[in-house]
Structure 1
Amino acid sequence: MNAPHAPAPNELATPDLFTFDNSYARELDDYCVRWSPAPASRPVLLQLNRELAAELGADPQALAAPDGVAALAGNRVPAGAEPVAQAYAGHQFGGFSPQLGDGRALLLGEVVDRNGRRRDIAFKGSGRTPFSRNGDGKCALGPALREYLIGEAMHALGIPTTRALAVVATGDMVRRDRALPGAVLTRVAASHIRVGTFEYFAAHHGPERVKRLADYTIARHYPQLAASATPYLDLLAAVAERQAELVARWLGVGFIHGVMNTDNMTLSGETIDYGPCAFMETYSPHTVFSSIDSAGRYAYGKQAGIARWNLARLAETLLPLIDADSPRAVTLATEVIDAFPERHAAHWLRVFRAKLGLDEQADAAVDQALIDDFLLLIKGLRLDFTQSFRALYDARLADAADQLPARLLALAGDAVRSDDDGADLVAWSARWQARQPQCAPALLAAMRLANPCYIARNHQVEAALDAAVEHNDLAPFERLLEVLRAPFDARPADAAYGEPATREFTTCYQTFCGT
């Protein structure tokens, strides 16, 4: 696979911007294709994540200097980098695509950060690769800024995620439904190994190549499994555990990924790809925003089931490694997949107990019923998910649980249909108070971190992106980014950022893939 590639002018090295140690290109050189990013005509640095740069051991000032911007635009390859396009396949909306790969992305290299973690540094929008099919390999400015913004919001919420290091405007236009300004996003990830990576090598090259990939994944992400007698079965279980927790944490903040294809599920357990994602406002398990998800496959309430389905696809690639006896391998893998709902339910209960300020002393069924009944109440009243749960925290913080029904009824406004709604809220509030009469400081602290004031609300994201793309005004983007990086403490000056969109906006709102 690693076809020779003649050096291009942009492969002239810049000074040392990062200390690279490129294990994927070194150990799996035939799992990728060496390639060069396409140069930008007039690169301009629009965003630089200085805190992340320092974490990676880089000098933010050097990255913002001309040589650094040239490197972040793809015009110069940093010293020590070995750019490669990675191969992967994927089930997209249930249908298998045997070859996808980095069609508009490029793994620049890896660094070991200041905390000892190995991190990928990769481009999105850096031009065509051998995997581009009919695409141009470019990225429009709006999707690049969107990924930067949502990744930082998720990081601030404490949810495992890829993050953006930089956005550079290329000075070139890209053609979508119309001409749009182009950009290159620099993305940082624990790795870009996906379920779809395993699917590609299982489909095209067989068990030996899958074994090499699995051994690399274990060494990089699950070193504790290296001495296991059943490392590949344990790898499946470990990935399932991380995904069970990740999706539970998504649900706790109302996050809808929007395109949970197998090529968008990482083995590291990080959230990846923020194309058609969105945050739910009015609570409903059926909420979908993605324009390409017409059947609701990836709706808010279906995400755990889809994670299980994706893990089953991973399991299929590992079967020859799990056991030489095929029926026994299927039995062992099926046990892991069938255990996923229980794993996820335990994480979900932990997340939502924290949102209600509950300890773990009561029977799980009691707390499950309390949580479910609250969700039914706010669904019936068409209440905003984030505001409703924040109201619980505010009531606990003020030691005024008896005032909660009035607060929620005020949020409901015209949605209150009868006196029964108020009575139901009063009854539920009494149950909640009885379940946890005293909220210890540790519980209150956990409750705060489970109930943000500020999420990346869809109308605010769109307004910020519109200002940047249509009016060359980054001020709204930067202001929203500032708010989302501190999501847990209410600030009077930021009150507008805690308000949901109008119902008219949300009813018509759609997100798009960004490709």
Structure 2
Amino acid sequence: MPPPPQAYRPSTALLGLGSAFWDPVAAADFPETRLRFRNDRAAAQVGLDGLDDAEWIAHFGRFAPLPNTLPQPLALRYHGHQFRNYNPDIGDGRGFTFAQLHDRSGRLMDLGTKGSGQTPYSRFGDGRLTLKGGVREILATEMLEALNVPTSRTLSLIETGEALDRGDEPSPTRAAVLVRLSHGHIRIGTFQRLAFERDEANMRRLVGYVLRQLYGEDGDDPIRLLHLVVGRTATLAARYMAAGFVHGVLNSDNINVTGESFDYGPWRFAPTWDPGFTAAYFDQQGLYAFGRQPEAIGWDVSQLAASLRLLVDSEPLIAALDGFGPAFQAALTEAILWRLGVTARDEASDRELARAVERTLRTTAAPLDRFFFDAFGGTLPAHYGDEWADLRAALDGYASRKPRDDAYWLGEPCAMLIDEVEAIWSRIAADDDWSALHAKVAAIRAMGDALR
């Protein structure tokens, strides 16, 4: 049965780009489909919360087409810089886009997969996702959403009954297929592929698609697009920092031009404000360390600018890139004030407060989540001693934007450090006990409600 028409608003906008942008593919035929997680809160935004479990599995485990949207799954084509090395041999290797829907605010959303089987870009991979990887993506997206970071949302996780061999975790391990709800899957690497191929006509077509479908603007002006992407990605970088989040793999094929974070692999939340903290064991040079994330995202955006030189001269592109630093600083100030739970005053005072937070957290090595929990509303408890004097002074005169009247403030701060992630997974792996995951998702959402 199709979802209610008043809530369900399908689209086929992606088809308007033309077949040069994708390859039609089919989902793997999984041995079984066991529903492990369904995000009805996200599903309600696109009219899918009315599906019963059997319908849910049919669409998100067997990939029966949803009504009036894409008739078959599409593996998107792109290139990208991976740890600053250009790779033209990538694309959707274990996922595809299989539906487009408008959410309640009118945004065009994609339903995309992870672990849905092999595609022309799988190379030597099996196109699968470990169940642990799916659990980790649920935790990352739920936590980031609660902390006001623009992120894809994990819509569904279905265990598929396969045993996978992996070199970086105990094997064989269980398999799953994940569905994410995303504001587009157009990456910086999508533009890089067209620049690499000198495909001016499709580059112009892609610019128009992103402006029209993802930003709600008319025209196909590459300069306007770059200004918009600079603003959105600078905001993303700032909110990563305020959340204490380390993505781990900020390659240009992992940066969505809407500025929405997605594709979570070796992510971690930093325990303290440690600029050198890394998430990925293979990032031995610290290229994507916590404190280098703004630089990494800015560098990726410069690759978008380089790609757009296929259409326009360099000078206005360089001018647009020059806006990344100021946009990041403004967004970081706003993000830190939001997490502190205070209302803005004036630009100079707000910036000094944000700097005082960064400086004091770095020098004291205080637990990030504990600090923001205690300081919410703008008042530091008495046990924060002399080393907090500058920050206490910077907070003087700031008003709380929301009272601490939710039950959340009667407990302990909600964090998501690696030991807890591993403990949640251990209970699933050892005893098929999902209670800790469901309890954590509930706790994260309670925190998000208290912060909003």
Question: Do both share a fold (TM > 0.5)?
Answer: yes
Q: For 1:243, which of 223, 233, 240 is the aligned residue?
A: 233
2:394 aligns with: 432
1:442 aligns with: 401
2:128 aligns with: 138
Residue identity opposite 1:432 in structure 2: A
Distance 1:36 1:356, change over 3 A: closer
Distance 1:443 1:342, change over 3 A: farther
2:331 aligns with: 347
2:216 aligns with: 223
Does residue 186 (structure 1) correspond to residue 184 (structure 2)? The answer is: no
1:272 aligns with: 262
Distance in 2, Cα, partners of 1:217 & 1:389: 36
Note the aligned Cα RMSD (angstroms).
2.6
List per-residue Cα deviations over 1:177-200 (Å, max 9, x = no partner). Answer: 321111000111111000011111
Distance in 2, Cα, partners of 1:363 & 1:113: 34
Distance 1:173 1:19, change over 3 A: farther
2:61 aligns with: 73
2:426 aligns with: 466
| Aligned 8 A contact 1:119 1:190 in 2 | yes
Distance 1:395 1:317, change over 3 A: closer
Residue identity opposite 1:381 in structure 2: T
Q: How does 1:109-258 map to 2 (within 5 A)?
A: 109-177=99-167, 178-224=171-217, 226-227=218-219, 231-258=221-248
1:383 aligns with: 366
- Give identity over the alignment, percent: 28
Quote the offset at 1:355 in angstroms: 4.2
Quote the offset at 1:89 in angstroms: 0.7
| Aligned 8 A contact 2:24 2:73 in 1 | yes
SS class of match (2:36): strand
Distance in 1, Cα, partners of 2:328 & 2:392: 29
SS class of match (1:210): helix
List per-residue Cα deviations over 1:396-443 (Å, max 9, x = no partner). Answer: 3xxxx5x43x1x3xxxxxxxxxxxxx4333x3255235x42xx43537
Distance in 2, Cα, partners of 1:163 & 1:424: 39
| Aligned 8 A contact 2:302 2:321 in 1 | yes
Structure with larger Rg = 1
2:294 aligns with: 304
| Aligned 8 A contact 1:354 1:443 in 2 | no
Distance 1:423 1:469, change over 3 A: same
Distance in 2, Cα, partners of 1:455 & 1:423: 26
Quote the offset at 1:165 in angstroms: 1.2
Distance in 2, Cα, partners of 1:232 & 1:358: 37
| Aligned 8 A contact 1:453 1:488 in 2 | no
List per-residue Cα deviations over 1:248-293 (Å, max 9, x = no partner). Answer: 1111111111110001100111111111111111221111121121
Quote the offset at 1:98 in angstroms: 0.9
| Unmatched runs of 5 consecutive residues or more in structure 2 | none
Does residue 50 (structure 1) correspond to residue 34 (structure 2)? The answer is: no
1:453 aligns with: 413
List per-residue Cα deviations over 1:314-366 (Å, max 9, x = no partner). Answer: 011111322xxxxxx111111111221111111112222344566544452x5
What TM-score do the two structures reach when normalised by structure 2? 0.89
- Count of paired positions: 437
Does residue 331 (structure 1) correspond to residue 290 (structure 2)? The answer is: no
SS class of match (1:320): coil
Distance in 1, Cα, partners of 2:139 & 2:342: 31
SS class of match (1:321): coil
SS class of match (1:271): coil
Distance in 2, Cα, partners of 1:371 & 1:26: 44
| Aligned 8 A contact 1:99 1:200 in 2 | no
Distance 1:358 1:126, change over 3 A: closer
SS class of match (1:486): helix
- Quick check: which one's helix share is greater? 1
SS class of match (1:172): strand
Distance in 1, Cα, partners of 2:347 & 2:60: 53
List per-residue Cα deviations over 1:57-107 (Å, max 9, x = no partner). Answer: 124443x12x43133113644454321110011101100001211100011
Quote the offset at 1:488 in angstroms: 5.1
List per-residue Cα deviations over 1:470-500 (Å, max 9, x = no partner). Answer: 331111111111111121578xxxxxxxxxx
Does residue 39 (structure 1) correspond to residue 29 (structure 2)? The answer is: yes
Distance in 2, Cα, partners of 1:149 & 1:358: 27
Distance in 2, Cα, partners of 1:223 & 1:431: 43
Quote the offset at 1:247 in angstroms: 1.2
Distance 1:488 1:129, change over 3 A: closer
| Aligned 8 A contact 1:125 1:137 in 2 | yes
| Aligned 8 A contact 1:455 1:487 in 2 | no
Residue identity opposite 1:483 in structure 2: A
1:106 aligns with: 96
